[in-house]
Structure 1
């Protein structure tokens, strides 16, 4: 019987944020800053299809809007959760539910956004100069570095995050 032989050591590190990221605009600004400024020193490369790939790219993302329906006494009588593939869809879907009178009637209450209950998720794929790909995943409450091998990658991301007030 053949044994499995370890070929790489992929690590994961997690930072819990003291205060959740305030809103989807702040979240998106953070993600765009990383893509634009490349603070981790990643490098672009040519993909297997021969096309250039940027040093840092959005790998996956989704955003969940929450709308509560409150009756005349302020009691929640219903809720709608809308997971969307982009911020544009997130905003459009939330606005559609907020303005849907038939849904409000069916729920038996008035629509109110539950901003505190909303979630955001964006995973960035980074290409290290060593040739390794790793991921930096952001939610409102955490930052996760995954699939990295060299501790210098964690150190670079951690040093950057230490200087970003929203990531304390």
Structure 2
């Protein structure tokens, strides 16, 4: 039998944020600034099929809106979580639930947005000049760099995060 031989060492590092990112708009602005400003020094490339790939791209994302239903005494009598594939869908879905009288009647309470309970997730794919791809994943509460081999990649992400007040 042939043995498996390790060919690479991929690492992951996580930073827990002291304060969650406050709003989906702030979160999106942060994601857009990474894509536009490319603070990690990533490089674009062309696939074998001839497709041009930007240095930093959104690899996957989802946003979860939370709506509580409160009775006349302010007690929660129900809730709804809506995971959406984009910020536009996140906002539209939350608005739909908030304005759905039939749902409020069925739940037995008034619909109220639970913004502190909502979650945001965006994973960015970055192409390092060395040719390696790695991921920077942001949530409301963490920043994660994963699938990197060279500690210089983690150091670059850490240096950037140190300079972003929301990521302290």
- TM-score, length-normalised on structure 1? 0.99
**What secondary structure, in the 3-state scheme, does the structure 2 residue paired with 1:4 have?**
coil
Question: Structure 1: which 5+ runs fail to align?
Answer: none
How many angstroms apart in 1 are the aligned matches of 2:151 and 2:120? 27
Structure 1 position 3 matched with structure 2 position 3: yes
Q: Report Cα offsets for 1:96-148 as digits up to 9, x if no partner.
A: 00000000000000000000000000000000000000000000000000000
1:57 aligned partner: 57
Structure 1 position 69 matched with structure 2 position 59: no
Tell me the CA shift for residue 57 of structure 1. 0.1
1:25 aligned partner: 25
Question: Structure 2: which 5+ runs fail to align?
Answer: none
Tell me the CA shift for residue 47 of structure 1. 1.6
How many angstroms apart in 1 are the aligned matches of 2:45 and 2:108? 55
Alpha-carbon RMSD? 0.4
1:43 aligned partner: 43
1:89 aligned partner: 89
Structure 1 position 127 matched with structure 2 position 144: no
- TM-score, length-normalised on structure 2? 0.99
1:114 aligned partner: 114
2:141 aligned partner: 141
**What secondary structure, in the 3-state scheme, does the structure 2 residue paired with 1:88 have?**
helix
2:13 aligned partner: 13
